[in-house]
Structures are given as C-alpha cells and as structure tokens.
Amino acid sequence: MPDYRRQRVPGGTYFFTVNLLERKSDFLVRYIDDLRNAVKWVRHKHPFHIDAWVILPDHMHSIWTLPPGDVDYSSRWRAIKIRFAKAIPVTEYRSQTRISRGERGIWQRRFWEHTIKDEADYAVHMDYVHINPLKHGLVKAVADWPHSTFHHYVGLGVYPKDWAGSVEDLAAGERGERS
C-alpha cells in the first residue's frame, strides 16, 4: 500500500484539488446547492477559512486556511464528501468493491494538497483556482463562470472583472511553481 505523507502546518494555508471518480460527470455543478450545504455544515462544525474556491463539473480546487494550531484538513474533506454523497440520488455506477464497503461511486478516494509556502506561492495558486474554468474551455471569460470566488475578489478590487490570467499563469500553476 502506498505511504502517503502530507505536510501539516498548524493553522496553515493549503491548496486542494478534489476529483469525482467519474471525470465525465457533472455532479458538482448539477448538485451545487448540496455541495454548498455540505461545505457550510462542515465549516460550522469544524471552522476553516475559504480563501478561494472554484467548482467545475467533475472536480474542484480550493485554498483554505485552518484555525491556529489546527492541521486536520483531511477530516473536513471526508465530512464534505460524505455529506454531499448522502444528499444526492444514487445514480452512479458502483463497483463490487465499493458496494461491499458500503461506498458510493462519487469521489476519488484521495485528494491532492499543497501547503502554501509564501505570498508568491499563494498568488500563483489563487490565479490557478480562478482561471480554471477558462483553462478547461468552460467559458470564454473567467467572469462568466458562476461557481467561483472570483466574483468576490472582483468586488474587493483584487481582480478586474475582465481578468483572464495568462498561459504562463496556467503553466506555473500546473507545475506548482511561482511565476
């Protein structure tokens, strides 16, 4: 069995990618209210700050900051996944293994995380989160995607409404590098 080691920084800021098992599914946008309710419920029980979030049809990216002294983002993701899975109808294919374990066939079992190192790393990952709908060809302009914190940051003056990032931003974000 692989040995997964995650870096844990108490009160740290983390970038996440969480995928549906079926990468051609649209469950995340089809059941967006159920996902939002799951996140809201988990945040009430186990607070964390949402720095950025984009929800695409089959995966999502987010940046969270945990409370001081807290390192437990894994339990939060587990709770979000479970709450969401319980809220939506059972329509997905489930393997015999998942059926025998009582699991739904919605989520990939793991998620990808990256500990944000500094302000430059934070900026690159913020841009990566927000440019993702454009990267995947879902919209012609970042502002056209409704399921993103981009609109919040436009309101704060962080991004102009017509911001579109750059190919360099996309490439740097995919490699986890600073631009």
Q: How far apart are CA 169 and CA 126, in angstroms?
A: 10
Left if phi > 0, otherwise alpha if psi is -120 to 50, otherwise beta: which for 113?
beta
Indicate if the pLDDT at residue 6 is higher than 90.
Answer: no
Number of residues assigned to the chain:
179
Domain boundaries, the chain: 13-175
CATH of domain 13-175: 3.30.70.1290
Give tens-digit pLDDT for 31-48: 999 999 999 999 999 999
Q: How far apart are CA 97 and CA 94, in angstroms?
A: 8
Rounded to the nearest integer, the mean pLDDT of the chain is 90
Segment 42-63 shows an average pLDDT of: 98
Give tens-digit pLDDT for 125-179: 999 999 999 999 999 999 999 999 999 999 999 999 999 865 455 555 555 543 3
What pLDDT score was predicted for residue 144? Answer: 95
Segment 12-27 shows an average pLDDT of: 95
Instruction: Say if CB 116 and CB 13 are below 8 A apart.
Output: yes
DSSP secondary structure letters along the chain: ---------TT-EEEEEEEBSSTT--HHHHTHHHHHHHHHHHHHHS--EEEEEEE-SSEEEEEEEPPTT---HHHHHHHHHHHHHHHS---S---HHHHHHT--SSB-S--EEEE--SHHHHHHHHHHHHHHHHHTTS-SSGGG-SSBTHHHHHHTTSS-TT----HHHHHHHHHT---
Percent of the chain beyond pLDDT 90? 75
What pTM, to 2 d.p., does this model score? Answer: 0.87
Q: How far apart are CA 41 and CA 113, in angstroms?
A: 22
What pLDDT score was predicted for residue 70? Answer: 97
Instruction: Say if CB 93 and CB 22 are below 8 A apart.
Output: yes
